[in-house]
């Protein structure tokens, strides 16, 4: 890989740092007592870690530090800023003691299981600062799941001071399980998670946002804005834009606020397929009455999973046997291609692969039928284009701070926690840094027929501020074109452009 | 439509201006005598304009100017910078005489035929400076073709001083025909074309590049670079990226030089489908041998039109009747979906619609078959995302200068010419401005069974400098990953970033 002029300039960018992280020797993590009310099942699964309280970073001498040996791994899909987590980790470890060592496990959690790793040098890391992608050490989707995986992790990382798992909800659940396992087996390795995912579904009261969401939404919004302008100029197509991001509709909501398309479907509203088809057809008719035969519609990737009748159909299909008459009717009404997908392409457990269903195709065909062909649609899918882009200043600084802070969590002996930064919409100098026990986020869910401990995916809260703000405005975007083009991410110039944060955060 | 903070800042951007355009009263267009050798057929078709020579802008008093009434129309697909052509036109007309009038014909050439037009005010234009899209007056694909269209144009624009047609090859052919028609019917309306198209296929010795190409390629290259970084991080997909741009492969070549993917197919090399499938399969095998099961492949939209066996098949299909045994074999070997497209979806003249053929789908299926399934491909299509983006500084300045210059062509009484700016890769101050007779670019071609005057599409010259440079380098990009991410277009900061020009121009 070589670097473009912009990439080279970004190497020199200095992320802004919260005041508390300026002198690492002058701060320490302090327990924040709180009443905990975890279920007996969680207590049984996490006997050593369930009672842990949150810790917050505060002024106060850290005591004598020693050299630390820390492992780091990327888990799951790319998100802009990951390399800065590593940069922050490395810089903090060197400040704590220059004899510290940062070891990258390669190509995801399988690197821990198979002991594929490499000590990372400062020279090497310097080449990746403020760059997109996870390519310094790679990533992967393997999970540490089976007993032998845990044994391998203990063998390969059990004599570290810390192991940092940069990942989404499942990877952080894994981090909690691994923390418990290490303690149980007398290992000194502290496990700390870092909240990563462009999907934005790893949120809680304590985790305001995962990293990568901002950069991905800005990149998608650039493209949506361009497409809107094109629609307005050519006046002949309905651009139906599907947006990456598993179940939750956070990305669609954020991009809608940034670009104001004519219609944005939000899965969490729980509308039926029929309602949504009616809604689109109605929009097309009203716009036609206003002389407009074009438009822009945003469709979250996970939309189909929220449609009651489709949810029911999928459950019945996965179970096998005869379909109910309602589901049979729903099935019969799907495009042939989708019917085939539902019947033939199952995951190893025999479950229907919801992610393969081309929601936008179904909607387009149904709307076309309803409008007797008068729906000139163009399909788009925005996904890979926004996962590995150059991180925005927000993600660059956020990730660097996450890296610095994570090193302190390990230095101060915390385990089974996730690094969290709060007050993100305010000045970076004032950001709060908190280590949140991952067990506090975990509950039991039935997944693929088995009860499993998981971090609940955060969905768009349709009673929350961001959605209510959106729902107040969206009517006015339907027929009048109130399109906005945020344009490409800018790294130089006025702070209004370079340092903006997601609208849903504000 | 509303404006984002970046869009608002771009309103204030002042395009750089060639020295010759600083004082419009001090320059004039001067005939550049040259020997012309046009075919008798062209002479017959353009009796009034065929003998016209090029004109170049030079220092020298322009004489007394008077108020001008000028019409302007966008024709065809969007290209970034179009609004700056209008901005330049308007500013020049006001400088020539503040009583001048600029009239926009709405939604493309149909606006001329149907007399849908509006006088454009300075206040209105101010809202569109350095913005993407064509939405100030819209665009369309209707052609002025039939005798009654020409009559309507004469009726609706025949008493103007000038009519500016901003369009691609066909629209400029139209401009030449209209110029001749107006002269023939005693109209004083001068017709001037402006070279627009992101495809980059409106090039000649005199037209170095059409506007919009730079911005579109920069936007596509941003996304390709992001996808490359993602491929390198996830290490599991071959990203097959189809790029908009009718027949010629200029966009693919430019983007390849900007991003260095593992393989870029260039239609003009004229390889057969079988050769290309072999080439991809071979690449995949060699990369696998190097431990790499991922990659990035660029596919120009028009690729299929250059494949000898597909060309033959399409000819035979369009003609009707029995297929030759070779073509029958080629047909039998295509994916079912493509077979259906070829059989069923014809244009109004019964011709096969080559643009509907999903080349990347055919290639992916064939490579998959050849490699027994071991080709994990993801399809992308980059098109609408790059046509209406905010124009790069290059396109912003280029278009503004084209607008200013086009007004001078009308002021100085030229007709049937296309505005051309030369030495584009050098300093803007030194740009050359030349009015090129469109007839000089026209020849006769068989289109849809009829002989027609057309501007020959400029293809990638596989003996030209840009291609040879690419072909020297491309081997080294195949297995070693020499990916480069140019990142999003930057409008502020160092000139190396903000003022770059297309690599194929250099």
What pLDDT score does B350 carry?
65
Q: Could you report the per-residue pLDDT of A398-429, keeping only the tens digit for each?
A: 999 999 999 999 999 999 999 999 999 999 99
From A140, A385, A494, residue closest to B227, measured CB to CB: A385
Please report the pLDDT score of residue B116 as a whole number. 98
Most confident range, picked from A334-338, B140-144, B279-283: B279-283
In-domain check, residue A504: no
Q: Evaluate whether ipTM surpasses 0.90.
A: yes
Catalytic annotation, residues of A: 199
Which residue of B2, B78, B481 is in closest CB contact with A233? B78
- Reported as a single tens digit per residue, the pLDDT across A206-226 is 999 999 999 999 999 999 999
Residue B260 distance to chain A (closest CA, Å): 9
Q: For residue A501, tell me if it sits in a domain.
A: no
- What is the β-pairing status of strands B101-105 and B450-455? unpaired
- Is A78 in contact with B233 (Cβ distance < 8 A)? yes
Sort out which chain B residues have CB atoms less than 8 A from A483's CB and list them: 1-2
CA distances from A291 to A287, A288, B104 (A): 6, 5, 19
At A238 the pLDDT is 98
Residues B173, B107, single domain; the answer is yes
Task: Count how many Cα atoms sit within 13 Å of the Cα of residue B31 in the half-sphere of its side chain.
Answer: 9
What strands lie across the sheet with A263-264, from one edge to the other? A263-264, A295-300, A238-243, A377-382
B368 and B400 belong to one structural domain = no
Instruction: Taking the CA atoms of B425, B428, B432 and B436 in sequence, report the sign of the dihedral they define.
Output: positive
In a domain, B159, yes or no: yes
Å between A55 CA and nearest CA of chain B? 33
- State the nearest Cα–Cα gap between A335 and chain B, in angstroms: 15
Q: With an 8 Å Cβ cutoff, are A4 and B387 in contact?
A: no
Tokens of B268: 């003009």
Specify if A491 maps to a domain: no
B233 to chain A: which residues are within 8 Å by CB? 74, 78, 133-135, 138-139, 388
Please give the Cα distance from A114 to A96 (Å, whole number): 29
Judge: A9–B139 Cβ closer than 8 Å, yes or no. no
Our CA-based measurement puts residue A434 at a distance from the nearest CA of chain B, in whole angstroms, of 29
Does the beta-carbon distance from B487 to A1 stay under 8 Å? no
User: Which residues of chain A lie closer than 8 angstroms to B234, CB-CB?
Assistant: 77-78, 134, 139-140
CA angle B407, B412, B416 (to 5 degrees): 75
pLDDT tens figures, B399-458: 999 999 999 999 999 999 999 999 999 999 999 999 999 999 999 987 767 888 999 889
pLDDT at A451: 85
Where on the phi/psi map is residue A493: left (φ > 0), alpha (ψ -120 to 50), or beta?
left
> What is the residue range of A245's domain?
217-386+461-485
Could you tell me if B170 and B259 lie in one domain?
Answer: no
- The residue in chain B having the minimum alpha-carbon distance to the alpha carbon of residue A380 is B381
Reported residue count of chain B is 506
- Can you read off the two tokens belonging to residue B110? 């149909």
- CA-to-CA distance for B195 and B399, rounded, in angstroms? 10
> Are residues A313 and A168 part of one domain?
no
Residues A305 and A324 in one domain: yes
The mean pLDDT of chain B is 94
Residue B355 has pLDDT above 80, yes or no: no
pLDDT band (50, 70, 90) for residue B155: very high
Q: Tell me the pLDDT tens digit for each residue of A166-198.
A: 999 999 999 999 999 999 999 999 999 999 999
**Domain shared by A321 and A198, yes or no:** no
- Cβ-Cβ contacts under 8 Å, A501 against chain B: none
Residues A147 and A172 in one domain: yes
Bridge partners of A443, per DSSP, are A454
Same domain for B34 and B175, yes or no, is: yes
Inspect the interface and report whether the beta carbons of B229 and A77 lie closer than 8 Å: no
Q: Taking the CA of residue B33 as centre, how many other CA atoms within 13 Å lie in the half-sphere pointing to its CB? A: 0
Q: Do A488 and B493 touch (CB under 8 A)?
A: no
Residue A504: which of A430, A405, A394 has the closest Cα? A394
Put simply, the answer to whether B222 touches A488 (Cβ < 8 Å) is: yes
Buried b (16+ CB within 10 A) or exposed e, B429-456: eebbbbbbbbbbbbeeeeeeeeeebbbe
Report which DSSP code applies to B322: P
CB contact under 8 A, A487 and B78: no
Across the interface, whether the CB atoms of B135 and A1 are under 8 A apart is answered no
**Looking at the structure, do residues B289 and B203 belong to the same domain, yes or no?**
no
> Exposed, middle or buried by CB within 10 Å (0-12, 13-18, 19+), for B86?
buried
The answer to whether residues B453 and B442 touch, using CB atoms and an 8 Å cutoff, is yes
How many domains does chain A divide into?
2
Of B3, B234, B388, the CB nearest to A484: B3
Average pLDDT over residues B177-201: 96
Say how far apart CA B307 and CA B389 lie, in whole Å: 32
Q: Are residues A86 and A165 in the same domain?
A: yes
Q: Which two tokens stand for residue A433?
A: 């840094």
> Most distant CA pair in chain B: distance in Å?
75
| B233 to A483: CB separation less than 8 angstroms, yes or no | no
| pLDDT computed for residue A350 by the predictor | 65
Determine whether the interchain pair A133/B1 forms a contact, defined as Cβ–Cβ distance below 8 Å.
Answer: no
Closest chain B residue to A229, measured at CA: B133
Identify the residue among B75, B140, B233 best suited for mutation to test binding to A, counting A beta carbons within 10 A and taking the highest. Answer: B233
Residue A63 in this model has a pLDDT that exceeds 80: no
Q: Do residue A488 and residue B484 have CB atoms under 8 angstroms apart?
A: no
Q: Tell me the C-alpha distance between A502 and A500, whole Å.
A: 7
Q: In the predicted model, what is the mean pLDDT of residues B146-157?
A: 98
- Of the candidates A225, A483, A496, the beta carbon closest to that of B5 is on A496
Same domain for B187 and B225, yes or no, is no
**Alpha-carbon distance B33 to B53, whole Å?**
6
* Residue contact B492–A488, C-beta within 8 A: no
CB A401 within 8 A of CB A88: yes
| Domain CATH for B233 | 3.40.50.460
Please report, for the domain that includes residue A409, its CATH number: 3.40.50.450
pLDDT digits (tens, 9 = 90+) for B117-127: 999 999 999 99
A247-269 per-position pLDDT tens digit: 899 999 999 999 999 999 999 99
Q: If you measure CA to CA, which chain A residue comes closest to B136?
A: A233
- Within 8 A of A481 by CB-CB distance, chain B residues are 1
Same domain for A380 and A477, yes or no, is yes
- E strand spans, A168-283: 190-195, 238-243, 263-264
Q: CB-based contacts of A460: which residues, under 8 Å, 6+ apart? A: A248, A249, A250, A253, A266, A267, A268, A466, A467
The whole-number pLDDT of residue B339 equals 87
Within a domain: B503: no
Of A2, A10, A380, the CB nearest to B484: A2
Rounded-to-integer distance, Cα A427 and Cα A476, Å: 32
Beta bridge partners of B268: none
pLDDT tens-digit map of A126-149: 999 999 999 999 999 999 999 999
pLDDT at A348 over 70: no
Nearest to residue A379, comparing CAs of A478, A242, A224, A233? Answer: A242
The average pLDDT across B371-388 equals 95
- Report yes or no on B340 lying in a domain: yes
Chain A residues whose beta carbon lies within 8 Å of the beta carbon of residue B134: 233-234
Which helix (H) or strand (E) is B454 found in, with range?
Answer: strand B450-455
| Mutation to test the B interface, candidates A388, A392, A479, A494, most B Cβ within 10 Å | A388
Residue A124 in contact with residue A154, Cβ under 8 Å? no
Chosen from B85, B384, B393, B496 to mutate, greatest number of chain A CBs within 10 A:
B384
Rounded Cα distance between B71 and B119, Å, is: 9
Picking from A2, A133, A486, the nearest residue to B6 by CB comes out as: A486
B485 chain-A contacts, CB cut-off 8 A:
4, 6-7, 132, 390
- Give the per-residue pLDDT at B349: 63
The distance of Cα B342 from the centroid of its chain, to the nearest Å, equals 27
Query: Across-strand partners of B299?
Result: B242
Kindly compute the dihedral angle of the four CA atoms of residues A119, A125, A130, A132, in this order, to the nearest 10 degrees. -50
Task: Please provide the DSSP assignment of B246-308 as one string.
Answer: SS--HHHHHHHHHH--SEE--GGG---HHHHHHHHHHHHHHHHHTT---EEEEEETTGGGG-H
Cα separation of the two ends of chain A? 37
In a domain, B506, yes or no: no
Which among B7, B482, B500 has CB closest to A485? B7
Round the CA-based radius of gyration of chain A to a whole number and report it: 24
Catalytic residue ranges of B: 199
Identify the pLDDT of residue A337: 83
Residue B328, in any domain of the structure: yes
Q: What is the mean pLDDT of residues A40-65?
A: 91
The answer to whether the beta carbons of residues A357 and A363 sit under 8 Å apart is: no
Q: Which residues in chain A have Cβ-Cβ distances shorter than 8 Å to B108?
A: none
Q: Which residues of B touch A166 (CB under 8 A)?
A: none
pLDDT tens-digit map of B235-247: 999 999 999 987 8
Q: In this structure, are residues B494 and A6 in contact, taking their beta carbons and an 8 Å threshold? A: no
The pLDDT of residue B341 is above 90: no
Residues of chain A neighbouring B491 (CB-CB closer than 8 A) = 490, 493
């Amino acid at each position: 890989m070589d670097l473009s002029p912009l990439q080279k300039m970004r190497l020199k960018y200095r992320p802004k740092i919260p005041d508390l992280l300026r002198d690492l020797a002058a701060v320490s993590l302090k327990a924040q007592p709180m009443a905990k009310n975890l279920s007996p099942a969680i207590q049984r699964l996490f006997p050593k870690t369930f009672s842990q309280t949150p810790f917050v970073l505060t002024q106060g001498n850290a005591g004598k530090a020693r050299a630390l040996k820390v492992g780091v791994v990327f888990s799951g899909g790319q998100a802009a800023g990951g390399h800065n987590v590593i940069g922050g980790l490395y810089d903090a470890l060197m400040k704590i003691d220059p004899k510290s060592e940062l070891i990258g496990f390669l190509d995801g959690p399988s690197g821990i299981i198979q002991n594929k790793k490499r000590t990372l040098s400062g020279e090497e890391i310097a080449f990746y600062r403020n760059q997109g992608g996870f390519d310094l050490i790679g990533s992967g989707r393997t999970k540490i799941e089976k007993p032998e995986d845990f044994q391998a992790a203990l063998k390969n990382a059990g004599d570290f001071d810390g192991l940092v798992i940069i990942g989404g909800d499942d990877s952080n659940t894994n981090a909690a399980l691994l923390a418990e396992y290490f303690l149980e087996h007398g290992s000194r390795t502290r496990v700390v998670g870092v909240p990563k995912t462009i999907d934005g579904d790893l949120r809680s009261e304590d985790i305001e946002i995962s990293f990568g969401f901002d950069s991905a939404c800005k990149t998608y919004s650039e493209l949506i804005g361009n497409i809107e302008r094109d629609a307005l100029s050519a006046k002949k197509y309905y651009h139906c834009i599907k947006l990456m991001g598993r179940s939750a509709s956070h990305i669609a909501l954020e991009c809608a606020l940034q670009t104001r398309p004519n219609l944005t479907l939000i899965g969490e509203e729980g509308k039926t397929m029929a309602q949504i088809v009616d809604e689109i057809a109605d929009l097309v008719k009203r716009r036609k009455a206003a002389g407009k035969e074009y438009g822009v519609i945003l469709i979250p990737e996970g939309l189909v999973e929220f449609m009651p009748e489709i949810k029911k159909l999928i459950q019945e299909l996965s179970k096998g046997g005869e379909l109910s008459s309602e589901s049979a009717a729903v099935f019969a009404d799907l495009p042939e291609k989708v019917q085939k997908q539902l019947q033939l392409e199952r995951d190893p457990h025999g479950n229907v692969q919801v992610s393969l269903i081309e929601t936008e195709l179904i909607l387009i065909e149904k709307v076309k039928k309803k409008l007797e062909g008068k729906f000139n649609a163009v399909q788009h899918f925005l996904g890979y284009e926004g996962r590995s882009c150059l991180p925005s200043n927000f993600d660059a600084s956020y990730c660097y701070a996450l890296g610095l802070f994570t090193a302190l969590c390990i230095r101060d002996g915390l385990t089974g926690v996730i690094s969290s930064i709060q007050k993100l919409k305010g000045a970076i100098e004032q950001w709060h840094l908190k280590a949140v026990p991952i067990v506090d986020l975990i509950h039991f869910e039935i997944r693929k027929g088995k009860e499993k401990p998981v971090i609940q995916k955060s969905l768009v809260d349709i009673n929350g501020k961001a959605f209510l703000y959106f729902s107040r405005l969206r009517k006015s975007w339907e027929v009048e074109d109130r399109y906005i083009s945020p344009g490409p991410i800018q790294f130089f110039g006025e702070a209004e452009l370079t340092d903006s944060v997601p609208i849903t955060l504000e």
